[in-house]
Amino acid sequence: MVATSNPQAALAGLDVLRSGGNAIDAAVAAAAMLAVVEPTQTGIGGDCFVMLRKRGQAPVALNGSGWAAKAASAEELRGRGMASIPVDSVHALTVPGAVRAWNRLVEDYGTRSLQELLEPAIGAAELGYLVTERLAHDWARQAAKMMATAEAKALFFPAGRAPALGERRSNPQLGKTLRAIAKSGADSFYEGWVAENIVTSLRKKGSLLSLDDFAEFKPEYVTPISASYRGYRLWECPPNGQGVVALQIAAMLEAFDLSAMGPLSAERFHLQAELSRIAYAQRNAFLCDPRFNAVDVNELLSDDTIERLTRGIDLDTKSDGWTPVALPEHKDTVYVSVADSDGTLVSFINSIYDDFGSGIVAPGTGVLMHNRGSGFVLEEGHPNELQGRKRPMHTIIPALVTKDADTVMSFGVTGGHFQPAGQLQVLSNIVDYGMSVQQAIDHARMFARGDVLELERTVPDAVWSGLRKRGHEPVAAPSPLGTCHAIWVDQGSGVYMGGSDGRRDGLAIGF
């Protein structure tokens, strides 16, 4: 089974499974297709994180997030009067980690060659693909950004307008780059002509990224972290990703009887809002690249910490404080969940950070660069302060859920900062309220951090008024809050049940 945000990508992954490939093969094929057919959300100019678990083995996590230029300096940017790194700054560009992460996964766990797995994406890039409804909507919103440079305009707005629903688009330059990667592996992206084109073009714009920054980058296997939730165990990648935030919310939420509250009630939304506000404030104070500053995950998830953080929760009143540091919105990501006949589940997430990433296209490559470096802060002494070869605090978090010795779910929620809060809403819908995986995904969502509480427009009026009585000032989310794609494994039968989000033209399909 494959669940993801675009039918063409889901089918690319499913075709790999039907031809005998495994879940790792299928996830890479689907992610590569998404890099072509959802250019507003993802691409080979971005980062990825992956979790997988083979039957009877320990979960595996791969950190495929890229680092800042070796020459990067927060002090230098502060000297220019910068208080943060804007998403449209050339200093927001870090080395893209996705391609080497895909290559590493296929070498270590796949059964097919990278060349074979990239062929469907190459075909879509060269021959074209049909624009879906949500993609057309997102594309049109970025006209000013993408027509600001000649390279981006030529690729994405050649007629001076965004494509309409059902229109065919292609990216032959990206097809050429993918062919080079398929033939020679990831090194052609990080050390060959592709890297040279990217670095040359970026340095002309003032970037400090060098060929050495690209050539010396490698993805990293990391030890997964986890927390219990009502007899289940939620697994996440460790920092520099924000998976620990989801675990902290889960640990705090376990102290309350959520099933006694209505699934769509002011009581439930208030509680989850309070716990989210706490966890996000913790995140922005401590989360960073642990290669530079230690992140004590055990302390953040300890019984003493959880008891202290939940001690003052009032089920009838909003608490004071818990305002996180302001950070740019992280909007755009794709997620892929795959399960194969051997019981291997893969949770795979890939992102270019913002709508169309940085909007910067490296000439001749078709590669749209992400701007993940906006996740750094410039505050002196902050754990997440920009430094050379450091990875920024990252929002994209793939997840697995186990029960006893079995993997029961591979899932992910997109939407940048929203992801930890979104994951716990989906998981709680299933565990606390007995929803099917699709019902859990379709359920109305909320997002709270600091003094902002966003509600999707399908939330009933009674919930809005109940939250106001508790001291919140809810506002309507400007668009649906994230998306979710998941595969749930029935422990008794072993049958896979997929769920995919209509908020992004999603599809879960198996055989």
Q: Which among 260, 287, 263 has a CA at the least distance from the CA of 420?
A: 287
Q: Which among 473, 439, 434 has a CA at the least distance from the CA of 455?
A: 473
Cα dihedral 109/335/306/265 (nearest 10): -150
Contact 477, 452 (CB under 8 A): no
Q: Which among 28, 10, 60 has a CA at the least distance from the CA of 349?
A: 28
Chain position carrying tokens 């971005």: 46
Which phi and psi (to 5°) does residue 509 adopt?
-140, 135
Judged by DSSP in three states, 79 sits in helix
Nearest 5°: the CA angle 437, 118, 126 is 110
Q: Active site includes 200?
A: no
User: From the candidates 4, 177, 333, 407, which is the catalytic residue?
Assistant: 333
Which tokens sit at 284? 């922005």
> Taking the CA atoms of the chain, what radius of gyration do you get in angstroms?
21
Q: How far is CA 199 from CA 193, 213, 215, 465, 502, in A?
A: 10, 9, 11, 53, 38
3-state secondary structure 41-72: CCCCCCEEEEEEECCCCCCEEEEECCCCCCCC
Residues with catalytic roles: 333
